[in-house]
A = this chain, B = another copy of it.
Amino acid sequence: MAYHPRHMKWWGWGDEDAGFDSSAHPGFWPYAKAQLGVEGDDPRALPVPLDAVQLPEAGVNPRFLAELGAALHSGQICSSRHERVVHAYGKGFRDLYRLRRGSAEGAPDLVVYPENEDDVLVVLRAAAHHGVTVIPFGGGSNISGCVERMETQRMAVSLDMRRMRRVLAVDAESFTARAEAGVFGPDLEEQLGAHGMTLGHFPDSFLHSTLGGWIATRSAGMQSDRYGKIEDMVVALRMITPEGVLATRTVPKSSNGIDVNHLCIGSEGTLGVITEATMRVHPRPESRIVPAYLFPEFESGVEAMRECARAECAPSMARLNDPDKTALSLAFKPPSSRMSQAVNKIFKRYLRVRGFGLPRACLMLTAFEGPKSKVAGQMQEVENIYRRFGAVSLGTGSGKSFEATKYDFPHIRDFLLERNVTSDVSETATLWSNILPLYRATLAEIRAAIAESGVPPWAGCHISHTYQTGASVYFTFALKHQQGHEMEQYLRVKRAAQQSFMDHGATLSHHHAVGTEHLPWLAEDISPLGLKAVAALKQGLDPGNVMNPGRLQPARDAFGEWSRIGSSPEAKAEAAALLTRKSRA
């Protein structure tokens, strides 16, 4: 029997039976309410029933369907309401807001499940031949709008890759593994684990995202400081395009002209479908420790991270929360957690001896993994640096608590949406010398953009994914809904954050991809000629514009796409007005 991948709930994050358990975090909602100015408890804004979702009538291209029907078995071709809605969007605010209110304008006409590379070839050739578009679909976990249909003229197929999930070969001598691209994170780790190996790629979306999706979006895992970003792990790959198969050789490095792997990595489904990849893997770490630290303020934490990068001793993971994210973390913890106790104890001393206060303190979560013989020494080296910058150790309690819940954070968006609160993120990367200026400016822009809609702003930031030259800077924001203006509120904040990245020398995203949400800034990020180069590649490998049309090529009216918000006419009009306004200087 065919393998049936488990879908996430169509209207939110995670498995049907999973969600945010607020009773385990009793401090969270009171903290959020106080911060966001939420009074009382409004009626819950529950998602509409699946039957009530407005789904466009499915487009039908009879010749395409006939060709498909002749080559695939019936279990590979699905057009049910549930399948179409599940494949309509990713899991960003714009996606879930629309779905919960019953709008699935972006739904594909059909969902196809290839089971091998030949199936993919058949679909792409038939699509090219008969004027159908194809949107590759991995886990559907993207929050930048990468799987939403952008073109409605032609019939659109969502190509769900998740039945292609086998690890095909492990070379234990060379530390490489060849795997089909549709494999989910946990499945991949389990198959590699049988060989004593790990890929070492653990993005927040790990439970619900796939190898191919990671590569197509230039994903980063929590431990990228040790294992690299996904583009650093790709040794070779195969990508099926409407023009045929692109395949690279399994060699560690080459000087064979332009690196063809890098034409596929980050292509966001616009050139073809990545069907398999040979990845650099690692022996399973013998040892893992997760100490946490508290820094007297954000600036010294950033300095300490930079110093570790300079001294070439960065932990496998280091995540520095700013004061607001630290406060959120504290509110999130079970009240009796060891960290809280430790924090209380240490902070009393700190407050007394050093004269600085909790409001500026910053929580640093770290992880060290590798051979037993090395891990303790690495931690000691880092701890010595941290201490020079005023940090105190909190032990491993809060680190373990973070470990236990690290894949749960995306559930909070659903919890908040149900309570009429929008939360989302914008993240970027910049040089060490620019982190604090960018941080301060962007935080101010986000808060001002929230305040514009007349509600109290909440915004926080964490630094993670360090490199010798800089790090990722990750902003989280939340705001209470102004009924009827939710989409406008979101767009205003998102735009302010992204424009601030551009204005302050950062990039549109460090690991969330371009999608729809960051597309208006692509030309500014990679230069108009860079955009032209990407378009030239597309023209060469997909001349019929079959693959994920509209991606990576901003329309003339760059923000136009954003006005397709599926909300009330008033909201649409206001959003359109907002979006034609000049950006904040």
Chain A residues close to B by CB (< 8 Å)? 171, 173-176, 217-220, 229, 231, 235, 241, 243-260, 262-263, 265-268, 271, 280, 282-283, 306, 310-312, 370-371, 428-434, 465, 467-472, 505-514, 518, 522, 525-530, 532-537, 539-541, 552
Known A-B contacts A469-B252, A470-B252; A174 and B529 likewise in contact (beta carbons under 8 Å) = no
Complex CA distance for A431 and B279, rounded to whole angstroms: 12
Complex CA distance for A543 and B104, rounded to whole angstroms: 42
Known A-B contacts A260-B534, A266-B259, A310-B283; A509 and B241 likewise in contact (beta carbons under 8 Å) = no
Could you say which residues of chain B place their CB within 8 Å of the CB of A541? 529, 532-533, 536
**Among A428, A470, A539, residue most surrounded by chain B Cβ atoms (within 10 Å):** A470
- Which of B258, B306, B529, B552 contacts A262, CB < 8 Å? B258
Complex CA distance for A529 and B241, rounded to whole angstroms: 9
Q: Chain B's nearest CB lies how many Å from the CB of A53? A: 30
A255–B218 touching, CB < 8 Å: yes
B527–A260 touching, CB < 8 Å: yes
A248–B433 touching, CB < 8 Å: no
A254–B218 touching, CB < 8 Å: yes
Known A-B contacts A174-B433, A259-B262, A536-B537; A252 and B471 likewise in contact (beta carbons under 8 Å) = yes
Closest to A244 in B: B529
A171–B370 touching, CB < 8 Å: no
B527–A235 touching, CB < 8 Å: no
Closest to A262 in B: B262
Complex CA distance for A219 and B508, rounded to whole angstroms: 29
- Which of B254, B508, B532 contacts A256, CB < 8 Å? B508
Complex CA distance for A229 and B232, rounded to whole angstroms: 13
Could you say which residues of chain B place their CB within 8 Å of the CB of A507? 249, 251, 254-256
A431–B534 touching, CB < 8 Å: no
- Which of B174, B311, B534 contacts A258, CB < 8 Å? B534
Known A-B contacts A171-B433, A255-B266; A235 and B469 likewise in contact (beta carbons under 8 Å) = yes
The 7 A-B pairs of least Cβ separation, nearest first, read A536-B540, A262-B262, A174-B431, A252-B470, A252-B467, A218-B255, A260-B530
Could you say which residues of chain B place their CB within 8 Å of the CB of A537? 258, 533, 536-537, 540
Known A-B contacts A246-B529, A536-B541; A431 and B218 likewise in contact (beta carbons under 8 Å) = no
Known A-B contacts A175-B469, A249-B507; A260 and B536 likewise in contact (beta carbons under 8 Å) = no
A256–B514 touching, CB < 8 Å: yes
Could you say which residues of chain B place their CB within 8 Å of the CB of A539? 536, 539-540
Complex CA distance for A507 and B259, rounded to whole angstroms: 12
A254–B508 touching, CB < 8 Å: yes
Could you say which residues of chain B place their CB within 8 Å of the CB of A280? 468-469
Known A-B contacts A532-B540, A533-B246, A541-B532; A253 and B429 likewise in contact (beta carbons under 8 Å) = yes
Complex CA distance for A310 and B258, rounded to whole angstroms: 28
Complex CA distance for A537 and B510, rounded to whole angstroms: 25
Known A-B contacts A527-B245, A539-B540; A259 and B265 likewise in contact (beta carbons under 8 Å) = yes
Known A-B contacts A256-B507, A256-B526, A259-B262; A243 and B532 likewise in contact (beta carbons under 8 Å) = yes
Could you say which residues of chain B place their CB within 8 Å of the CB of A271? 533
B533–A370 touching, CB < 8 Å: no
New A-B contacts (11) at CB < 8 Å, excluding given A176-B469, A248-B527, A252-B429: A174-B470, A175-B432, A218-B255, A247-B527, A248-B530, A249-B526, A251-B506, A252-B431, A252-B470, A256-B514, A260-B526
A253–B312 touching, CB < 8 Å: no
Q: Chain B's nearest CB lies how many Å from the CB of A469? A: 5
Closest to A527 in B: B247
Complex CA distance for A282 and B508, rounded to whole angstroms: 27
- Which of B433, B467, B522, B532 contacts A257, CB < 8 Å? B522
Complex CA distance for A157 and B275, rounded to whole angstroms: 43
A525–B254 touching, CB < 8 Å: yes
Could you say which residues of chain B place their CB within 8 Å of the CB of A514? 255-257
